[in-house]
Chain A
C-alpha cells in the first residue's frame, strides 16, 4: 500500500548509534548557548530601539536625573493617621536609612522636605522636622499644615488627608549587571522590615525598581508553577491516549532536549529573558507533544493490526513524516511572525519557540522511533469508542451540511461582531497578578496616596539660563495650573513652586509675593541662593538641566485606561502648542506603555499578513490543489476572529500582547486543517470517494487525533493563561480559545463547505471502498 517512503525509517533504524550521536552533538552544542541567557528585568526591554516614545524618554533621562526609584508608602494603623508623631518619627528614620540603599542618589520624604523660613535677612532652608518625638503640639500643627497644603508634597509623597505618606529613594543603576535591581529591592525589603519592627507601622513598596523586579518574580513564579502543571497534563493525556508508561516517558524524553535546544539557541542569539520569552518552554512543551502523539498513535494502530513493532515504526514514519514536517514548519512560521511585533520580548518568544518546534520535529522523527525500537511495547485498547463517535459525527455533518453551514455562519457573524467590544488597555502596573505583592501594594498606593502614572514634560526655553526668564516661568505656571485643574491629576511637580515660595520668603513672607518673580535677575539670584542652601542629594538636577535652559514638569495622574491617558496627553500637548507655543511632547513609562499596543498592532498587521501568505503558500504546495488551499483559509482565519469575539463578549479589555495572537495561533491552527484536508484529498483521489464519504473518512481517520491534540494544546495554553504576568495570560487565553475554535471550525464549517463545493463535481463513482486507517 503506502510503503513508498519507508526507506528513511529503514535507514534510521539501521544506523541508530550514528543518529543518537548526531542528536546528542547538536543538542549539547546548542545547549552551551544557555550560559549566555540572563534575566532582563527592566521594563524598557519591552520597547524596541526605534520606539519613538522610548527615544523621547531616553533623551529626557539624559537631561535630568533618572526616575528609577523605590517608594516606601507608610500605612497608618486603623484609628491613627499619617501625621501622627509615631509615623513622623518612622518617616524620619526611614529617610535616614534609605540613603543606605545600594545606588541611591537621593531620598525624598516629608521629613527632609526642604522647608524655607525667613527671619529678617536670614534665609533658613532646612529639613521640615527633626526628632519628631520631641516636638511640641504647636510645632507639630505647623508641620501638619505644610504637609497637607504644600503643592510639591501633596498627592506625591503625602496624602493631604493624612491617609498615607511615603519616602522615595531615587536610584541610579550602573546597568552593568541585571542583579542590581535585585540588590536594590532586597535592601529595600530589609529596610521595610526594620521600620515595621521599630515603629509598629505597615509599609508598602512601589516604584520603578520594584516594578522591574516584579518581572523577574513573575517569570520565576511561572517557571515554578506552570512548568510542573504542564508536565502533569502532558503525562496524563499522553498516557490516556496510548496507555503505555514507557511511551509516555519517551514523550518527555523528546520534550526535554527540544527545550534545551531552543533555550540554548536563545542564548546564542543573545536573548534576555523576560516573562514572555521565559514562557517559551511551556509553549514548546505543548507543541512538541503533538508530533509525538501523531507518531505513536499510528504506530500502535499498526501494531494492533498485527504488524511487527519494527514495521509499525517504519510505517508510522512514512505516513506521518510529511504532515509532521509540514505542521512543524507552519507552526515555526507562525511564531516567527512575532518578529514583526514592536516589542522585543515577543521576538524572543517567537524565535525560541520556532527553534523549539523545529527541534521537536527532529527529535520526533529521529529520536522517538529509535527509542521505541529499543523495547517491546504492547498495543492496548485505547480510544476506539471515540473513533466510532467521530465517524458518526462525520456522517451527521455530511447529511446536515446545509444546516451546519447556516448555523455556523450565523454564530460566526454574531461572535465576530463582538470584536469591537474589545478596548485596548495597557495598564502596565496591572500586568501583574494580585498574588505578586507589588500589585497589591501599588493598588493600595494608588487608592490612598498618589497616582501611579507619571508623565514628564521637558520644557525647553532654548536659551542658556532661560529658565529664569519670567515669560518662560509664567508659561510653566500656566501649564502647571492647567494640569492641576484636572480631576485626574494628583500632583504637578514644577520648579515654579520653588520660585514662588522663594519670592514670598525673601520678601518677608508676604503672601502677596507668592508669584513668579518679576525679572530674570531676581529669579536667577533666588535660585543661586536656594541652591547654596540645599543639603546633599536634594539638589535641583532632577528638575533643571546643567545650563539652566530647560526644566521638567512631572504630572502624576490617577489610574486611567490607556485611551483616557492618551486623550489626556493629547489634550496637554495641544494646550502647550496652541496656548503656549511650545512643542513639548509628553514622555515617560506611562506614555511608552500607552502607545505600545497601537504600535504593536500596526507591526503585527504586517506580521500576520506575512504568516498568512507563507503558511497558505505552504498548504498550497502540500495539497497541490488551489481550490482546497483557498478553502482552508476559512477554518484557518476564522478561529482568531471568533476568539477575539468571544473575548469581547466576556472580557472586553485587551493589552498589547493580543496583537501577536493571530499570527502565532495561525501556525498551530493550520495543522488541524492540513491533517483533515490531506485525509479528505486522499479519500477523494486515491479511493475515488464522493465528497460526503471522503468527509466521513477524514473524520474517522484524523478526527480523534485532532481532538486529542487540540485538548493538549488548549490545556497547555490554558495553563500558561494562569501566568501571573498579564501579557502572557492574555496571549495564552486568546490562543487557547482560538485553538478550540479551530477544532470546531475544522469539524463543522470545513466539512460542510467541502461538501457544498465538491458535491456538484462528484462523479457518481460506485466504488464504496472506504479506507479508515
Chain B
C-alpha cells in the first residue's frame, strides 16, 4: 500500500514536471511562431506620433520617424529620427538589437554635431519621458525571454494564447509580462507588465491591425497605461511602408550624422 502511494506520488510529480515542460515548450513554440510569421519583412518605414497623458488628462505630443531593417544573424537594426519638439529636431537614435546582452545604441546630437554611444546597460528606463521603456518597443528577439504557456482565453472575440514572458536581462524593469496572442494570426493584442515586486505596472493594448504585403501585420495604435501612476502614452503609427530598399549602410554610426 505504502509503496503504491510512493509510486503514485512519483508518477504525479512526473506528470507535474512534465506539464511544466510542456507549458514551457508550448510557450516557446508560440513565441517562435510569432517570430517566424514576421520573418522576411525586409525593411519598414513609418511615422509615429507619441502622445503623453498625465493622470489628469493633460497631454503633449511629439513626432518621430522610424526605420527598421530585419536582422540576419543578430537582431533587427532600427533608426528613430525625432522631428518635434523643435529643440530635438534632427536627433537620431540608432540601435542594433542583440540576441543576448545589451543592445548597441547611439544617439546623434545635431547641436553638438557628434554621435554618442549610449554605453549603459539600462534599457528599462522610459523612452522620451513616456510610459514606454526602450525594452517595450525595441525588437522582440526570441532569446531575450523564457516562455510559459498559461492558457487559452477569449480576447475581444479572438481566441488567444496567454503566454508569460520572463525577461532574461536582470536589469529589466519587469518580473514578467503576460501576452495575449491570437491563435489564428499570431498577433499580440495585449501585454501586461509586472514590476519587480510582481505588481501589475502597465498594460499595453495594440489596436487597428492591418496586413501589409499580404503577410505582415502591423498595429496602428499602441496604448500603454501605467496603473501605478495613472499616466498613459499612445503611439499612433502612420504611413507604413515595406521593403523600401534600406540596407545595413543606412544603419551605421556614419550614416547617423547624415540622416534626414
List the interface of chain A (C-beta within 8 A of B): 62-63, 65, 99-105, 119, 121-126, 172, 464-465, 468, 506, 519-526, 528-529, 531-541, 544-548
Contact = CB atoms under 8 A, between A and B. Distances in A.
A464 B60 contact: yes
A625 to B, nearest CB: 61
B18 interface: no
B173 A536 contact: yes
A548 B120 contact: no
A521 B110 contact: yes
A332 B196 CA distance: 54
B125 A172 contact: no
20 contacts: A62-B56, A63-B54, A121-B114, A121-B115, A123-B120, A125-B118, A506-B114, A521-B87, A522-B112, A525-B88, A528-B91, A528-B128, A529-B107, A531-B127, A533-B125, A535-B125, A535-B171, A546-B129, A547-B52, A548-B129
Interface residues of B, number: 48
Contacts of A533: 118, 120, 122, 125
Interface in B65-123: 82, 85-88, 91, 93, 105, 107, 109-112, 114-122
Given A104-B197, A121-B115, A521-B88, 4 more contacts: A65-B229, A529-B116, A546-B52, A548-B129
A528 B82 contact: yes
Contact of B197 (A62, A102, A123): A102
B246 interface: no
Contacts of A102: 197, 199
A347 B228 CA distance: 33
A143 to B, nearest CB: 18
A158 to B, nearest CB: 22
Contact of B107 (A519, A528, A541): A528
A525 B109 CA distance: 6
B85 A122 contact: no
A524 B125 contact: no
B32 interface: no
B133 interface: yes
Given A525-B111, A546-B129, A99 B197 contact: yes
Contacts of A65: 229
A531 B124 CA distance: 11
Given A521-B110, A525-B109, A538-B125, A546 B58 contact: yes
Given A121-B117, A122-B119, A172 B228 contact: yes
A68 to B, nearest CB: 13
A122 B53 CA distance: 33
A536 B124 contact: yes
Nearest to B198: A100
Contacts of B85: 464-465, 524, 548
Nearest to A539: B126
A465 B59 CA distance: 13
Contacts of A62: 54-56
Nearest to B133: A536
B17 to A, nearest CB: 29
Contacts of B117: 121-123
Main secondary structure of the interface of B (DSSP, over half): loop
Contacts of B115: 121
B110 A525 contact: yes
Given A99-B197, A532-B127, A536-B124, A122 B56 contact: no
B122 A535 contact: yes
Contacts of B196: 99-100
B197 A101 contact: yes
Contacts of A544: 129
Contact of A536 (B82, B125, B231): B125
A105 B228 contact: yes
A700 B82 CA distance: 93
Contacts of B134: 532
Contacts of A534: 122, 125-126
A545 B117 CA distance: 27
Contacts of B133: 536
A692 to B, nearest CB: 73
B93 A532 contact: yes
A521 B111 contact: yes
A399 to B, nearest CB: 75
Nearest to B86: A465
Given A101-B197, A122-B117, A525 B125 contact: no
A531 B116 contact: no
A84 B61 CA distance: 47
Contact of B129 (A525, A529, A539): A539
Contact of A531 (B53, B112, B128, B172): B128
Contact of B119 (A119, A519, A528, A540): A119
Contacts of B127: 531-532
Contacts of B125: 531-536, 538-539
B126 A531 contact: yes
Contacts of B52: 546-547
Given A101-B197, A521-B111, A506 B126 contact: no
Contacts of B86: 465
B60 to A, nearest CB: 4
Nearest to A468: B87
A525 B87 contact: yes
A544 B85 CA distance: 16
Closest 3 CB pairs of A and B: A536-B173, A547-B60, A536-B124
A101 B199 CA distance: 11
Contacts of A124: 119-120
A61 to B, nearest CB: 10
Given A105-B228, A528-B91, A541 B128 contact: no
A630 to B, nearest CB: 56
B161 to A, nearest CB: 27
Contacts of B55: 62
Contacts of A99: 195-197
A538 B125 CA distance: 7
Contacts of A522: 109, 111-112
Contacts of B109: 506, 522, 525-526, 529
Contacts of B120: 123-126, 533, 535
Most B CB contacts (10 A, CB to CB) among A105, A119, A544 go to A105
B129 to A, nearest CB: 6
Most B CB contacts (10 A, CB to CB) among A125, A524, A528, A532 go to A532
B173 A546 contact: no
A547 B87 CA distance: 13
A173 to B, nearest CB: 10
A108 to B, nearest CB: 14
Nearest to A469: B87
Nearest to A63: B54
Nearest to B173: A536
A710 to B, nearest CB: 55
Nearest to A532: B118
Contacts of B195: 99
A58 B111 CA distance: 37
B111 A519 contact: yes
A152 to B, nearest CB: 17
Nearest to A527: B88
